[in-house]
Amino acid sequence: MPEPGPRMNGFSLGELCWLFCCPPCPSRIAAKLAFLPPEPTYTVLAPEQRGPGPGAPGAAAPAPAPAPAASPAPAAEEGAGPGACSLHLSERADWQYSQRELDAVEVFFSRTARDNRLGCMFVRCAPSSRYTLLFSHGNAVDLGQMCSFYIGLGSRINCNIFSYDYSGYGVSSGRPSEKNLYADIDAAWQALRTRYGVSPENIILYGQSIGTVPTVDLASRIDKISKVTSPVLVIHGTEDEVIDFSHGLAMYERCPRAVEPLWVEGAGHNDIELYAQYLERLKQFISHELPNS
């Protein structure tokens, strides 16, 4: 039997956190999908490493090869204050906003229980918002590529977004593995709680594709979605070419507190966020279903 997860003030993480996931079933995805970390699209620099230019693409040199990018100076480790490090994006990050929006993105490093250095990002999209998304992104991307999406998503659903790169992705050290996924999200959770003081009841866990694996583990501490006791919104495209739609149905049926799911007709694995109903359903979930649950 697995050991029970940590409890805070008498409540478990599953009871304190809000949760919504984009399928597939987490107990199978890690075994079926290969990890595909891309070449890093960003670097994180400590104050003494900063150049004179801003961090937007075109003003900074492209991200170096993976090994140097994953070896920042010790001053950039956990313990440095928010904003102490600077984010520099390569052209491949496809940044879509101005320097003003980039200045609202905070980056730093944390350390996992498996002794990997974890690149973390906090995007202040809505400073007065009650909720913060702890976003576990999909495969084959890193924080640099996701940064523009986070700003657009957070501003539209009125949430701040905290995210991290898995071990072996972006500037995070180590190698990607299922065990490291669990240690990575643990470190991200602790950083969000201690560094920014976000209460557990105000954290929404968001798992995108392979990110469902650590998301469900954090909420339940076992590999069955049926043990998650918080409200769950399942989103899946009916024409998903990577993970069959049946996974979304199975997850919905196993969740004891699942809310009305969103089955996006015609959506595939990588374009579901482009459909209007995606944002509208998230807004409804955050604005109405969570406060009344």
Residue 11 is assigned to a structural domain of this protein: no
pLDDT in tens, 216-226: 899 876 745 56
Give the span between the Cα atoms of 136 and 281, in whole angstroms: 19
Closest CA to 160 of 151, 170, 171: 151
Residue 79 is assigned to a structural domain of this protein: no
CATH of the domain at 102: 3.40.50.1820
pLDDT in tens, 226-268: 666 788 899 999 998 888 889 889 888 888 888 999 999 999 8
0.85 surpassed by pTM: no
In this prediction, the residues of the chain whose per-residue pLDDT falls under 70 are 1-33, 48-83, 221, 223-228
N-to-C CA span, the chain: 30
Give the span between the Cα atoms of 224 and 205, in whole angstroms: 16
Residue 239 is assigned to a structural domain of this protein: yes
Residue 192 is assigned to a structural domain of this protein: yes
Ramachandran quadrant class, 34 (left: phi over 0; alpha: psi -120 to 50; beta: rest): beta
Asked if 251 and 23 count as a contact pair (C-beta separation under 8 A), the reply is yes
Asked if 23 and 236 count as a contact pair (C-beta separation under 8 A), the reply is yes
The pLDDT assigned to 229 comes to 73
Closest CA to 233 of 26, 11, 18: 18
The pLDDT assigned to 270 comes to 85
Question: How many angstroms separate the Cα of 21 from the Cα of each of 39, 136, 214, 233?
Answer: 26, 10, 11, 6
Give the span between the Cα atoms of 215 and 274, in whole angstroms: 23
The pLDDT assigned to 251 comes to 85
Residue 9 is assigned to a structural domain of this protein: no
The pLDDT assigned to 52 comes to 52
Give the span between the Cα atoms of 50 and 72, in whole angstroms: 12
Residue 76 is assigned to a structural domain of this protein: no
Residue 227 is assigned to a structural domain of this protein: yes
- In sequence order, the β-bridge partners of residue 63 are none
- The domain total for the chain is 1
Identify the residue whose tokens are 């539209």: 156
Closest CA to 204 of 144, 259, 271: 259
Residue 195 is assigned to a structural domain of this protein: yes
The pLDDT assigned to 76 comes to 39
44 CB contacts (<8 Å, ≥6 apart)? 72, 76, 85, 86, 87, 88, 107, 108, 109, 119, 171
Tell me the backbone φ, ψ of residue 102, rounded to 5 degrees. Answer: -65, -35
Residues catalogued as catalytic:
209, 240, 269
Q: Which domain holds residue 185?
A: 17-45+84-289
Give the span between the Cα atoms of 222 and 19, in whole angstroms: 15
